[in-house]
Every structure is written in C-alpha cells, then in structure tokens.
Amino acid sequence: MSSKKELQLAYGMAIVLFVVGVVSYAYTAFSAKPPDEPVRIMFNSVAGKVLFSHKMHTAASGYGAACLDCHHHYEEDEESMRACGACHQIPAEEGAIPESCYDCHDTDEVEDTEITKKGDAFHDQCINCHQDIEAGPEECSECHVL
C-alpha cells in the first residue's frame, strides 16, 4: 500500500471514529431524563452504611409512603423540602441553633428547642414507621452494612 492510501485510510478511520463518538455522546447525554427524586441514597454512620431505596419506600408496590410521611418542614410543602442534614446536625456549641433553622423559623419559634442529631432522627422516623406498618427490617444488620 502506498503512503498516500495509508494516510487516506487513517483520515477515514479518524472521521468514522469521531462521528461514532459524537453520536454516542449525544445518545447518552440527551436520552435519559434524570429522576425527580433520588433513586437510592447511601447514609454513612458509625454503625455502618445504610442504603436507602427511595423508590421502594414511595412506590405503591413498596411501602407507598407519601413525601410528607418522612420529610417534614415548617411550610409542609414539597417545594421547600431539604436534606435532613440541613437541620438535623450536631450544633457547633451545646445548645446552639444551626443557622439553617432561621431560614424558615423566627427566633421565638426555635427558642429552647433541642435539635435531634441526624442519626437519632433517622432511627426515630424509620424504626417507628416500620413498627407501625409491621413490615421491613427489624434487625440492625438488615439496614446497616459494615
């Protein structure tokens, strides 16, 4: 093969690979719509990681929980939901109220309020709910994975 034919072949292959790359990128970048809610969330804790399946808890074929069954907020609407850690955190100083509380609450609403740590809030919410519906995990190791 002559040098000219080899160069044409190389250019042809480069063009084909470039087109395949662009088409592949366009297909993956624009084909899938991201979900409105997280599918799964991994929570890290001292007792081990907990993989929470949002879909299983909200689907009618799962537990059928409504958003506000777990997420609560002062205004109690879906638009104002925020991550649990935004409020349920360990205050910098004992008795201090995190700044995020004042995003929605007036000072007199949160005076003398004890902020529950995120892990305790999860345990209270999750364990109580699973006991009420009498379904789901019962042992620590069924949620916590070391």
Q: For 10-68, what is each residue's pLDDT tens digit?
A: 999 999 999 999 998 888 777 677 777 777 888 888 888 888 888 888 888 888 888 77
**42 CB contacts (<8 Å, ≥6 apart)?**
49, 50, 51, 52
CA geometry: angle 58, 64, 66, nearest 5 deg: 65
Q: What is the pLDDT of residues 117-132, one digit of tens each?
A: 777 778 888 888 888 8
